[in-house]
Structure 1
Amino acid sequence: MKIDPVKWNRNASLVYAFGVWTMLGYAYYKYTLGDVKVEKKVVEEENRSNVEIYETKHTRTTIIYKEDSVPYTTMLLNFFRSTNGSSTESQKQEEEK
Structure 2
Amino acid sequence: MKFDPVKWNRNAALMYAVGVWTTIGYAYYKYTIGDIKVEKKVVEEENNPNVKTHETKRIQTTIIYKEDSVPHTTMLSNFYKSTYGSYPESQKQDEDK
TM-score surpassing 0.5? no
Q: Which has the higher strand share?
A: 1
Q: TM-score, normalised by structure 2?
A: 0.42
Q: TM-score, normalised by structure 1?
A: 0.42
* Structure whose alpha-carbon radius of gyration is higher: 2
